[in-house]
Amino acid sequence: MKYLLIVLLLGVLAVIGFVGAGWYNVGADSPHWKTTYTLMQFARERSVAYHARDLSVPADLGDEAVILKGAGQYAAMCTGCHLQPGMKESEIRPGLYPQPPDLSQMRVDPKEAFWVIKHGIKMSAMPAWGSSHDDATIWSMVAFLQKLPRLTPAEYKAIVAKAPPDDDMEPMHDEHADPSATHDMSMPAAAASAAATARH
């Protein structure tokens, strides 16, 4: 038993020394060791499943208005990482590690999708959108994700063009800001997405 404790202590000290020396490369262009990646992937999947297990899926998830709202949110916030029908790549996506899933090609579990969108994922590029969007808006995104993999590029563009603006993205109050300055937050998500595409 004493020898086991000594081995464990030496292992902990070795890890502390390795990390403290800065030898571990945290660069996004340097993949994890296979064992590390497998462990982190397993931990992520189990964590999401556990925390999402008691969520209740709204009955109106198939409502057209809810889906339309989610389409606008997705176009404005998600396509750079998760793509859209007919989109092969984006400017940011190749540099992300781990690589975000292509949501235009796969169906996601509604409960797990809601939890991930709301809370984000540590040590990835997935933000916690719950800090700026309410639950109803996040559920609308989940509703759209159920429909997304079945859409053609033309159908995607058509549904996004009809989407309402992203009203949840309100400017943060800044007591030092110039009171005469205003910010137009009313641009529809479809227009914002089109503008972003045009810039590239």
pLDDT tens digits along 97-126 = 999 999 999 999 999 999 999 999 998 889
Residue 174, pLDDT above cutoff 80: no
- d(C-alpha 1, C-alpha 3), whole Å: 5
Residue 168, pLDDT above cutoff 60: no
Domains of the chain in sequence order: 32-167+186-199 (1.10.760)
What pLDDT does residue 59 have?
96
- How far out from the chain centre does Cα 45 lie? 14
The answer to which of 32-41, 58-67, 182-191 has the lowest mean pLDDT is 182-191
- d(C-alpha 39, C-alpha 30), whole Å: 17
Q: Are 146 and 107 in contact (CB under 8 A)?
A: yes
164-186 mean pLDDT: 46
Q: What is the pTM of this model?
A: 0.78
